[in-house]
Amino acid sequence: MGHVIFKCPQTGLNVQHWLDEAEPDNPSSAYETVVCQACNRLHFINRLSGKLLGQQEE
């Protein structure tokens, strides 16, 4: 996937993170946990879309 940019739900800041290119084998592993550089909390990012778990469609 490469670089993804997501908005931290805690701070509202845009955060850049690197996700490797590997495709998940099953849909239950479609999310990857990442440590947010803005708030130091864990967030779940969908490996296919780059969106946060629970993120509203814009």
pLDDT value at position 8? 94
pLDDT value at position 54? 86
Q: Which two tokens stand for residue 37?
A: 């550089």
pLDDT value at position 18? 87
Beta-carbon neighbour count of residue 19 at 10 Å? Answer: 16
Q: How far apart are CA 8 and CA 10, in angstroms?
A: 5
DSSP class of residue 25? S
Pairing, β 2-7 against β 14-19: antiparallel
| 47 pLDDT higher than 90 | no
Exposed, middle or buried: residue 31 (CB in 10 Å: 0-12, 13-18, 19+)?
A: middle
